[in-house]
Amino acid sequence: MAWDANRVVPWQRLVREWLLYVGIMAVVFVLFFRDNGLIGILAGLLVSGPMYLVFGYVLAKLGYQRKSLKQLRAEPKPRRRTRGADSDGSAADAPAPRAKPAPTKRTGGSGVSGRPGGSRRKRR
C-alpha cells in the first residue's frame, strides 16, 4: 500500500506492547545475566523504545494494521470442508473415489494360500 498521512497511528497500543516487551525482557535478562553488566543491557532495552515506535509509525502510515487478540477471538472459526463437498453441501464437483489398487505380493493378492506372508514350511 502507499503512504497515507491521514491514517491513524495506534500510539497507545504501540506503547503498551513495547512496555510489555521491556518488562518481560528485563526479567529474563536479570535472571540469566546477573553476573554481567546489566546497565548496558537495560540501556539497550530503553533505546529500543523509540526505534519500535518509529517502525510502528511507518507501518501504520503504510496501512499495516494487526488484529488484536480481541478481534481474533471475535472472528468465527473457519469450518473444515468435508472431502468433495461444495460450500452449499452438494458434491457436484466431487472427484470420483479412487480405484482399488492392484493386488501385490504384500497385500496377499498373488499367493497360493491367499494369506499374507506366503507359504510357510510345515514342522515335522
- Residue 50, all three cell numbers: 523509540
d(CA 24, CA 28): 6
pLDDT digits (tens, 9 = 90+) for 78-115: 877 665 555 555 555 667 888 888 888 787 666 555 55
> In angstroms, what is the C-alpha Rg of the chain?
31
Q: What is the pLDDT of residue 113?
A: 56
Q: What is the pLDDT of residue 72?
A: 86
Is the pLDDT at 34 greater than 90? The verdict is no
Is the pLDDT at 51 greater than 90? The verdict is yes
d(CA 46, CA 33): 17
The structure's pTM equals: 0.55
Q: Where are the domains of the chain?
A: 12-64
Q: What is the pLDDT of residue 78?
A: 81
